[in-house]
Amino acid sequence: MANPLDTDAGSELFSSYEAEFKLVQADLTQKLDQIPELSGEPRKAAISAAERALEEADELLGQMRLEKQNIPSSTRPKINQRFRNFETDVDSYKRKLNSLASDRAALFGNRYTDDPTPSDVQLEQRQQLLSGTDRLDRSSQRLRSSQALANETEAIGAGTLADLHAQRERISHTGQILYESEGYVDRSVKTLRGMARRMATNRVITIAIITVLVILIFAVIYSKFR
């Protein structure tokens, strides 16, 4: 372990980092001592907490590594020795944490084995349950995809029906316009026929009047020369 904090180290900032490191170090030691007594999810949580504390200790070491360059040369050998002790402690913590984290039997409980056998009925049932859950999830996913496709097809069909209805309305409106136009044409034809008949009648009357006038003229001439 590291030596006690030396108040004559020569750098207040380094001393501050060192004091903070010792607090993290004590907390990390306590966490590492608790992990062997735990298993399952509590053990996972304790390992995660220890990893975070170890990361914080590494960060403090980095800060101290930078700060010790500002310490006077006369007191630097003491600082370097304490700093090397801190690095050794952190390396020891890392090895211990890796060893605890790699203990899969303690991490997953007493039912863990590296080579599960058919005699482990509970494990086999759990694997079957997980397999069934995976199949159910895949089936649910396919069902959701099919439902989405059906909804999309329904939307396309509804849009097509709406378009067909609009086209039917336009065709009906066009047919009505054509029907009305046909009525206008019929009335126009009847009007033209009436005008043609009146023109023919006027022509006959005109010819008759001219004929009568010619006859009268000839009659007057004849009566003068008789």
Q: Are 37 and 102 in contact (CB under 8 A)?
A: no
- What is the distance between the alpha carbons of residues 174 and 181, in angstroms, rounded to a whole number? 10
pTM higher than the cut 0.75: no
Query: CB within 8 A of 168, min separation 6: which ones?
Result: none
How big, in percent rounded to 5, are the helix, strand and coil portions of the chain?
Answer: 85, 0, 15
- What is the distance between the alpha carbons of residues 118 and 122, in angstroms, rounded to a whole number? 10
pLDDT tens over the chain, length 226 residues: 444 444 444 468 888 999 999 999 999 999 899 888 888 888 888 898 999 999 999 999 999 999 888 888 888 888 899 999 999 999 999 999 898 888 755 555 544 444 444 445 666 666 677 777 767 777 777 788 778 877 878 888 888 888 888 888 889 888 888 888 888 888 888 888 888 888 989 889 999 999 999 998 988 888 888 7
Token output for 224: 């003068």
Task: Please provide the CATH number assigned to the domain covering 12-108.
Answer: 1.20.58.400
